[in-house]
Structure 1
Amino acid sequence: MKEFTFRILAGANIATIIVMLLIGFSDRINPTAHPLIANLGLLFPAFLVANLAFLAFWLMFRVKWALIPVAGLLIGFQPIRIYTPFNRNAATPEGSIKVMSYNVFYFSTWDDTAQPSEILSYIKRQNPDILCMQEFGSTGRKREIADSTLSAFYPHHDSADSPERGDEICIYSRFPIVGKEKIAYKSKGNNSAAFRVVTAKGDTTIVVVNHFETTGLSLDDRSKFHAMIKGDIRNREAEQESRRLWHKLGEASAIRAPQADAVAEYVERHKGQSIILVGDFNDSPISYVRRRLASVLNDCYVASANGPGISYHYNAFYVRIDNIMCSDHWTPYRCHVDNSIKASDHYPIICWLKRG
């Protein structure tokens, strides 16, 4: 019976590895053709953890069979590294510039404008050279304070609205901004824009700021998802709700894919020029959107960060959806997601870049 049990567990381990690999390489599939497959990447960490649990089990009870999960880790090295990279933390070289991307959630947790904004205070402490924000479009007194505070530290700034003014992306820079170009794609509330920034004498860098299509889940949807994770919704109701939410996520993925294609094509048209790309992708690391853009630029997080880097942290959706990428003109250092500030539904992502 003991040997039979081990063989059953070995079969389960192999099955886990197969599913992990299928999910890990699902980012090759275009969501416009297969929207229900597009969000499988959200499940990747569950199968990775399961395989690691099998590894621990075999090391305790049957060392030779630990080769099974080890083989899975080796075969799945590429998606594992994308999801949770490990790198040496090299020192930041002199002359590097500090880039931050931050979805500030319309400063919605800043309730009393008589008190300092936690987000604005944080930005002043971090002091990035180039600051890019999504969901910046607050109004009234909040907007006045944000503009005046940031303008005191950044002599150059610009912004771009979505077609129906659903979202505003912006850039604040210590370097001159000498041009702006919207990147056209279909969306009502989201957008992308390219800003030309003079990062050095005679050297212009295109900074592409993105906020791709949102997940399509309402606050009520996210609350129900959180309730399912906690086990507060059970049986048939939970099954029906999960199917409904999965369909909504798939529909949003099918919209994001051509948006990412449009931005990637823009980058390809400007091949050979210095480019930094940042933003809220609203998609997991194992996704068509991230892979499409990483095919034309270097993913700074994968190249220089450590761990999964969870950047979205509301309603049980814990995933890295914020990104910084760059052309070969730059070398990334110490990219990381800073979870020390919880004033938005996102954490900021920060990276130092050194011009080659």
Structure 2
Amino acid sequence: MRLFRFLFTVFHFTVVALLAGTALNAYVPPKVFAWMNMLSLAFPFLLIIHTVLCMMWLVLWKKRAFIFLAATLLFYYPAKRWINFTAPAEGEVADFKVLTMNIKGAAYGKETLYSYLKNSNADVILVQEYAKNLKNTDYPNTVQSYSIVGLASKTKVIEHQRIETSSNGESFYADIEIKGRTVRFINMYLNPFAFDKNKVKPSEDYEKNKRKVRYIAGTLIPTFKIHQDEVAAIRKAVLDSPYPVVLAGDFNAVPSSYEYYQLSDVLHDAFLTAGNGLSTSFHDYKFPIRIDYIFSSKDLKPISYWVDRHEKMSDHYPVIATFKFEK
């Protein structure tokens, strides 16, 4: 029994160390050590294991339970990026509503998708992987000059411009007039991973699984390095903006990743202020993850934030937030 407890204690300390290691993504770029960014993908699994082990120590009534429970405080804020509970903003009236969605080229059905977008009542809609047919939303102002990302707005689009990146991702900003003010919306789609599902499904064959692990690492690591350059360009666009900023889109990166830390350093994740429940938006694999976000500058107060999972219109669910201008 002592050996059992000793081994589980060592294992638990290892889990805690790995969880703590995800925070290093705030400082270690993928081009320096990309494997650190891979650790961010394991964060929810590691947190679940940590929670189960804490419960086990409590049941066994071991003092070490309180050490591990105290360590849990280190992961409070990282966990909030995945699951959060906030009180409703009583008496707060939003000035505008934003919807972002990777629509996967309307491959799940155009009629249902565009009817949903049209009836969403969002002031600004940002889409990724679109098929240049935003006119179907009946919004009076659209940006359809780019191959992967597009925008529809109820109000005037003053100007828009591509954010230059040398990758298969694409981003642009659009300055939009809302209630007599100008807000810069950045629609972001970071370079995709483009996994072949058949190559990532676990197998009973050990050698096949080894090849699949090499395939996954060989896909993730180069993409993380591309993301580093893309995020640098987008950070610059945020910092150079003369207007309040809303950044939304498909980051192709989870919370606790280098990409998330870099962007949350200059903008605020609206889910942390106004979100409730799970923030996961991509449900195409067995374990849902969060890769779609809405961030904002301090001039804009998030009033509400939710992921609409009522109907599957893509492999991503729409993410919606409302904002109020800070006086």
Match of 1:351 in 2: 321
Q: For each residue in 1:188-243, what CA deviation from the matched residue of structure 2 results, as whole angstroms up to 9, or x when unmatched? A: x3211110100122x111111111100142xxx22321x21xxx343121012112
Contact 1:37 1:250 (C-alpha < 8 Å) held by counterparts: no
User: Residue 158 of structure 1 is aligned with which of 118, 121, 143?
Assistant: 143
Residue matched to 2:151: 171
Provide closer, same or farther for how the CA distance between residues 224 and 257 of structure 1 changes in structure 2, counting only shifts above 3 A.
same
Bigger CA drift: 30-39 or 272-281? 30-39
Could you tell me whether the CA contact under 8 Å between 2:22 and 2:257 is conserved in 1? no
- 8 Å CA contact retained: 1:24, 1:76: no
Q: Does 1:36 align with 2:35?
A: yes
Instruction: Return the letter of the residue paired with 2:158.
Output: V
Offset from partner CA, 1:127-151 (integer Å, 9 cap, x none): 211111111125xxxx4xx52x312
Which of 215, 234, 253 lines up with 2:193 in the alignment?
215
Structure 1 residue aligned with 2:126: 132
1: distance between equivalents of 2:32 and 2:25? 13
1:314 to 1:27, Cα distance in 2 relative to 1, 3 A: farther
CA contact (8 A) 2:184 2:244 kept: yes
In 2, the alpha carbon distance for the partners of 1:348 and 1:255 equals 25
Unaligned runs of 5+ in 1: none
**Secondary structure, in 3 states, of the residue corresponding to 2:272?**
helix
**Residues 24 and 239 (structure 1 numbering): CA distance in 2 closer, same or farther, change over 3 Å?**
farther
Q: Which one of 171, 192, 200 corresponds to residue 192 of structure 1?
A: 171
Give the C-alpha shift of residue 18 in structure 1.
1.0
- Residues 315 and 77 of structure 1: is their aligned pair in 2 closer, same or farther, counting only changes over 3 Å? closer
Q: 1:118 to 1:331 in 2, by over 3 A?
A: same
Structure 2 unaligned regions, length at least 5: none
Judging changes above 3 Å, is the alpha-carbon distance between structure 1 residues 274 and 26 closer, same or farther for their aligned structure 2 residues? closer
SS at match of 2:33: coil
User: 1:108 maps to what in 2?
Assistant: 107
Q: Report deviation, 1:182.
A: 1.2
Partner AA of 2:259 in structure 1: V
Residue 27 (structure 1) shift: 4.2
Deviations 1:38-89 (A, max 9, x none): 2221111111001110122122221533213212211223322333333223
How far apart are the structure 2 equivalents of 1:182 and 1:92?
A: 38
Q: Find the residue that maps to 1:101 and give its secondary structure.
A: strand
1:343 alignment partner AA: M
Change (3 A) 1:317 1:52: closer
Selected match of 1:235 from 206, 211, 221: 206
The one of 246, 249, 258 equivalent to 1:288 is 258
The correspondence for 1:322, drawn from 289, 292, 305, is: 292
What fraction of aligned residue pairs are identical, expressed as a percent? Answer: 23
Q: What residue is the counterpart of 1:206 in the other structure?
A: 184
> Which residue type is aligned with residue 5 of structure 1?
F
TM-superposed deviation, 1:342 = 1.1
Could you tell me which amino acid in structure 1 is paired with residue 231 of structure 2? Answer: A
TM-score by length of 2: 0.93
Shift of the 160–233 alpha-carbon distance from structure 1 to 2, 3 Å rule, reads farther
Q: CA deviation at 1:4?
A: 4.5
Q: Give the aligned partner of residue 257 of structure 1.
A: 228
